[in-house]
Amino acid sequence: MKQVDEQVEARHRAKMANRKSIQDAEVAEKTLEKGLLLVHTGSGKGKSTAAFGLALRMLGNNRRVGIVQFIKGAWSTGEQPALAVFGDRVVWHTMGEGFTWETQDLKRDIAAAERAWQKAVDLMQDETIALVVLDELNIALRYDYLDIDAVITTLQARRPDLHVVVTGRNAKPALLEAADLVTEMTLVKHHFKAGVKAQAGIEF
């Protein structure tokens, strides 16, 4: 074990005590509790993964979760069977038919997005659900499959205690403005560029 000089240890203790008092005071100032609109966007990996982490955290607090997957649907992901063990505490709807370059049918893509959005609205109206995950909604908004103004109006009109997390790259500025928290996943390095294919447990 690294030896620590007593004077260094004393200075550290005083510094941390001061830091704790500042931190405690800052935390004590925060008294508002409300449902949050969270947006996970950016070119980096992990947007949906982080959202499902929130779902797991909510389940750990004995709250129900609703999930709607936009766009995705052409393949299965590991999160769905994993969360299925929670039974009816998770309501999961995979409503997409694959990315637009896979379907190559604009009308079909729009119709799928509209069905998914209606399901999302239904889940947001369910008062037993504490968190709604709208996975890849940003993609549907990017391609104008849904009206951004109508979506934001509905999100802002949700009940006060409901948390909603929206994922997908290229989030529109209007959604970023409406959000309470925005996290941008930044791509620094990706194994795909080195020829590594999508793998079970990592990408899906």
The CATH number of whichever domain residue 190 belongs to comes to: 3.40.50.300
User: Does any domain span residue 199?
Assistant: no
State the angle between helix axes of 148-156 and 106-124 in degrees (0 to 180), rounded to the nearest 10.
10
Asked whether the predicted pLDDT for residue 30 surpasses 80, the reply is no
User: Does any domain span residue 163?
Assistant: yes
Residue 73 confidence (pLDDT): 64
User: Does any domain span residue 79?
Assistant: yes
Residue 121: CB atoms within 10 A of its CB come to 15
Number of domains in the chain: 1
Dmax (CA) for the chain in angstroms is: 72
Residue 193 confidence (pLDDT): 86
pLDDT tens track for 119-150 = 999 999 999 999 999 999 999 999 999 999 99
Residue 74 confidence (pLDDT): 58
> Which range marks the domain in which residue 88 is found?
33-194
Residue 141: CB atoms within 10 A of its CB come to 25
The answer to whether residues 91 and 159 touch, using CB atoms and an 8 Å cutoff, is no
Residue 44 confidence (pLDDT): 96
The answer to whether residues 154 and 11 touch, using CB atoms and an 8 Å cutoff, is no
Whether pTM > 0.95 for this model: the answer is no
Q: Which long-range contacts (CB under 8 A, 24 or more apart) does 98-103 make?
A: 98/71, 98/72, 98/73, 98/74, 99/71, 99/74, 99/139, 100/143, 102/74
Residue 75 confidence (pLDDT): 64
User: Does any domain span residue 183?
Assistant: yes
User: Does any domain span residue 2?
Assistant: no
User: Does any domain span residue 84?
Assistant: yes
DSSP 54-114: HHHHHHHTT-EEEEEESS--SS--THHHHHHTTGGGEEEEE---S-HHHH--HHHHHHHHH
Among 97-101, 159-163, 170-174, where is mean pLDDT lowest?
97-101
User: Does any domain span residue 112?
Assistant: yes
> What is the pairing mode between strands 37-41 and 181-184?
parallel
User: Does any domain span residue 70?
Assistant: yes
* Phi, psi of 78, rounded to the nearest 5 degrees: -70, -20
